[in-house]
């Protein structure tokens, strides 16, 4: 059985190899990175139980990496910093900022192993993914995440629109969690309106008393009553029948419901979040959806863009799904070949996140390779669905075509790691600023689609 998954950041090859060997012998699964920026990308994409980092690194110090990710809003796994140049003041400051331990080289290796083991005992899956980043890393996803605290628990109703499979329920659950800062368990009642049989809809939504009709051998609470004190999430709200829309509108406005067969109303209070992939405005014009109910549920409207319009989220989500699959199967996580990552971004994703999850799960189960190649995820359907304006090179393309594709991906990745700083990116790539600009122009790299963090006022920032 695969043990706890930890991230090691150490640029000394002898020290790194020694630590990897020891932790693997102790039953840990170890990902070893020699640079801070490579580790930063991995920490965002994987569910590490502990991060063990050297302080002095070639590209960015380990404590600076911790501070940078902390300031960017990431809820980090436990960090342990290692250094041969420790000062009491520096150690105390880092411990105050949340670092779990600060060890000085040469250290007691058995004691370090025991410390890591204690930290991994109660590790929760995906616990380090903050609410800010759970929707994705694209600008569109981040904008939605910034709006959530403003409306959660304050708006009387929220309408989420978007294509099927874009993650509308994920956003609804995030709004539910942020509506109450206390630790109390508030109910979240999710209802797929399209799956409720019309003949049973009233009983399902409002409940019934014992003996109210044939087969009602016991009392049952409906969805609206079950959601009391929490959130009622009506998915595919456009599928509701017109008679049920009228009854539902009254209950939402009056905050009262009456079970079938009951003589008294019951007060109920809940946050209402609705979602749909249909055009409700057009349905209102066609008299397929009540106008008064539409305005009642559309106090705040949030639109979740399709995955094809936020390519920055594709590889991030793919890495999340790969990590989750590896943990479920007790296997080492597979990695994505650079060409696979390019194809993931170029694909149109008609099924959105749901399709991405399906393809990644299939590839992880079927492929015996540790690295997922394009054919593991895509078959002949790729050439039919690839965008015509930006075709991906076919399997028989020339070597330089593939090299150009990989170069474009690597430059985009490095720009995102360095938050759009031209000087830092050029330095990391070991090329001049002018050379980088020329390559960006040649590859048609759009800066506004890469910078997803807060904009800086520095002249060196892309897009300024």
Segment 197-222, tens digit of pLDDT: 888 888 999 999 888 888 888 888 99
List every span in the chain annotated with CATH 3.40.50.2300. 5-120
SS3 assignment, position 354:
helix
pLDDT band, residue 454 (cuts 50/70/90): very low
Query: Can you give the pLDDT at residue 389?
Result: 37
What average pLDDT does the segment 29-49 reach? 85
Phi, psi of 102 (to 5 degrees): -140, 100
Query: Can you give the pLDDT at residue 272?
Result: 96
Query: Can you give the pLDDT at residue 382?
Result: 40
The percent of residues in the chain predicted with pLDDT above 70, rounded, is: 84
On the question of pLDDT at 99 being above 90, the answer is: no
SS3 assignment, position 381:
helix
- How far does CA 270 lie from the centroid of its chain? 26
Alpha helices in 121-231 (DSSP H): 139-151, 168-178, 201-206, 223-226
Q: Compare 122 and 339 and report the one with higher pLDDT.
A: 339
Whole-angstrom distance, CA of residue 421 vs CA of residue 443: 18
With b meaning 16 or more CB within 10 Å and e meaning fewer, what string describes 40-74? bbbbbbbbbbbbbbbbebebbbbbebbeebeeeeb
List every span in the chain annotated with CATH 3.40.50.300. 139-305
CATH of range 5-120; options 3.40.640.10, 3.40.630.30, 3.40.50.2300, 1.10.10.410: 3.40.50.2300
What average pLDDT does the segment 12-17 reach? 91
Whole-angstrom distance, CA of residue 327 vs CA of residue 336: 17
The CATH class, in words, for 139-305 is alpha beta
Q: Compare 314 and 408 and report the one with higher pLDDT.
A: 314
With b meaning 16 or more CB within 10 Å and e meaning fewer, what string describes 300-334? bebebbbbbebbbbbbbbbbbbbbbbbbeeeeebb
Write the pLDDT tens digit of every residue in 352-386. Answer: 999 999 999 999 999 888 888 888 898 644 444 44
CATH architecture of the domain 309-449 equals Orthogonal Bundle (1.10)
- How far does CA 397 lie from the centroid of its chain? 34
Write the pLDDT tens digit of every residue in 16-34. Answer: 999 999 999 888 999 999 9
**Which of 59-73, 359-373, 382-396 is least confident?**
382-396
Residue 129 CB-density burial (10 A; 0-12 exposed, 13-18 middle, 19+ buried): middle
Output 88-97 pairs: Cβ under 8 A, ≥24 positions apart: 90/63, 94/63, 94/66, 97/66, 97/67, 97/70
């Amino acid at each position: 059985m695969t043990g706890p998954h930890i991230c090691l950041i150490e640029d000394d090859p002898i020290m790194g190899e020694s630590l990897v060997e020891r932790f693997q012998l102790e039953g840990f699964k170890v990902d070893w990175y020699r640079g801070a920026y490579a580790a930063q990308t991995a920490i965002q994409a994987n569910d590490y139980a502990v991060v063990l980092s050297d302080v002095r690194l070639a590209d960015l110090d380990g404590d600076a990496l911790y501070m940078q990710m902390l300031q960017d809003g990431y809820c980090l796994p436990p960090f342990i910093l290692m250094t041969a140049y420790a000062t009491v003041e520096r150690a105390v400051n880092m411990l105050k900022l949340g670092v779990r331990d600060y060890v000085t080289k040469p250290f007691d290796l058995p004691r370090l192993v025991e410390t890591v083991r204690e930290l991994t005992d109660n590790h929760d899956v995906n616990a380090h993914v903050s609410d800010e980043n759970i929707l994705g890393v694209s600008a569109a996803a981040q904008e939605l995440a910034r709006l959530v605290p403003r409306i959660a628990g304050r708006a009387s109703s929220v309408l989420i629109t978007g294509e099927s499979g874009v993650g509308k329920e994920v956003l609804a659950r995030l709004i539910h969690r942020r509506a109450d800062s206390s630790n109390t368990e508030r109910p979240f009642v999710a209802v797929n309106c399209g799956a409720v049989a019309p003949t049973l809809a009233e009983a399902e939504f409002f409940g019934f008393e014992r003996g109210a009709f044939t087969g009602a051998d016991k009392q049952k609470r409906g969805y609206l009553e079950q959601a009391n004190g929490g959130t009622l999430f009506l998915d595919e709200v456009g599928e509701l029948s017109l008679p049920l829309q009228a009854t539902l509108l009254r209950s939402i406005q009056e905050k009262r419901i009456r079970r079938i067969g009951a003589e008294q109303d019951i007060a109920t209070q809940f946050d209402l979040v609705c979602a749909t992939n249909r055009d409700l405005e057009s349905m209102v014009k066609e008299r397929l959806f009540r106008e008064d109910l539409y305005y009642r549920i559309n106090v705040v409207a949030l639109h979740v863009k399709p995955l094809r319009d936020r390519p920055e989220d594709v590889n991030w989500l793919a890495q999340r799904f790969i990590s989750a699959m590896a943990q479920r199967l007790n296997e080492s996580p597979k990695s994505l070949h650079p060409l696979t990552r390019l194809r993931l971004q170029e694909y149109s994703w008609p099924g959105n996140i749901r399709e991405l999850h399906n393809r990644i799960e299939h590839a992880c189960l079927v492929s015996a390779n540790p690295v997922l190649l394009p054919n593991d995820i895509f078959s002949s359907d790729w050439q039919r669905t690839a965008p015509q304006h930006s075709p991906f090179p076919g399997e028989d393309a020339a070597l330089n075509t593939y090299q150009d594709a990989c170069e474009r991906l690597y430059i985009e990745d490095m720009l995102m790691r360095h938050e759009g700083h031209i000087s830092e990116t050029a330095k990391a790539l070991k090329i001049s600023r002018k050379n980088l600009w020329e390559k960006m122009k040649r590859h048609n790299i759009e800066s506004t689609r890469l910078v997803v963090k807060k904009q800086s006022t520095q002249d060196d920032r892309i897009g300024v």
